[in-house]
Every structure is written in structure tokens, then in C-alpha cells.
Structure 1
Amino acid sequence: MPRVNGELPYTGKVGAEVTIEQARELAEICVLKGLSCLEAELGSLDKVEQVLKVTGFVQSAPGFSQQPKVLDAASELLQAIFGEKGRHARSAVGVAELPGNTPVEIEFVFAVNANK
């Protein structure tokens, strides 16, 4: 979840209380938080061989259908950080509710070389 100092910068549904731009910012925060957790576990992001899959959940207002645009921010950031290793499969899913009223939640799958 895209918490900053333990708090969600924005809450609510994208397309109602949260703008696409705010949701894209949250998607980028999710990437940075996810990479921070991965680096803490591996000791270095140099061990990442490939970003395999990104699954993004967007808490969406009725009629909102731009979930891919929200998740583009996460995909673009991963590719900027990892280059070709950042290219990945992706799903962008609109949902009615997410825990804590977060607008965005992202799940990542990475291939790593623990021996590096």
C-alpha cells in the first residue's frame, strides 16, 4: 500500500475523491515501497534479474475505466529503474473497495538471483 510516514496521502475512489494524477502518484509510491522491501530482503536490487508481473488494483468510482492509465505510472517507473529488466506482464484491475480505503494497491513478482 502507498503509505508515506504511515499514512495514505489520498483515500477514496479514483474517478471520484481521487484524481488520475493522484492515483498515478500512489502507484509510483507503491513501486518505491515494494522495491524498498525487496532491497531489504535481498541486500541489493542488483540481484533482480527481471520484473515478471505487476498486478495493480484500483479502487474505482462507478464508470471509471482508466485503470491502465493509473498503472502506467508504475510500469514506467520500473522500466526507468531497471531498463529492459523492468519490462513485465501487467494486469490493471478495477475494484469496488480496497483495505484502508486506499485508492491503489500493487502486487509484484520479480525473478532474482540470490547468488549475485
Structure 2
Amino acid sequence: MPTKTLWMEFRRDTFVNAIKQLKPQTKVKKFLTLELEISFNNGEACFDMGGLMKKIPASAEWDGYAVVPMNFIFSFTKIQPSNDPVRIEFIDQKFKIETSKVSSKWSAQSTFNRI
């Protein structure tokens, strides 16, 4: 578990477009329970929904994987973050975008089973 504030920044339009592309076209009840894994690798933010992944350019101090409820992330497709660039943070088991926070998990390795 991280003891310092971890952060990542990226352009608002690329963030919103990336998460829109992860959203299914039809409403599925199961979808509301899904989680998004957010990581950083080689200058890119990686948004992984169990194999469906979107990457966008980013800067960060982020050395692991935040696991965040999808419905929290998708709320930002309707009401976009006001800041550009968007800054996300993880501290004390909370994932934060601007003033919005949600309980989330942190892992040193991916939580998804990879083949």
C-alpha cells in the first residue's frame, strides 16, 4: 500500500475519449459492478477493463495499479473534469479526480489474470 500521494496527469479530451471507448453500447447490469485498473507505463496511462485497454500520453508518479469502480470513472463522460490537464491521485485507499473521491484498491501487480 502506498504511503505517499501517487498522481498522474493527462489531457482532458484524451482522457474522456479513452473512457468513452471503454463503455459498452448497451446497458448491462454486470457492467455497473466492473472495475477499471489504472496503471502507468512508458509515458502512458493505461486503462484496463479486463483485457480491453486504452492508453493515453501522461506524466506520473505512479508505481502500481489502482482498481477503481467503472461507474465512478464513467461519470466523467457526462460531467467532464474542469481542469486541463486532469490530475488523478491515489492516497489512503481513495482514488481522486478533482474533488470527487471513491474508495479503491491498490496493487503492486495487475489484478487481472494474464495468459
Bigger RCO (CA 8 Å, 6+ sep):
1
Do the structures match in fold with TM over 0.5? no
Q: Which has the larger radius of gyration?
A: 1
More helix by share: 1
Normalising by structure 1, we get a TM-score of 0.30
More strand by share: 2
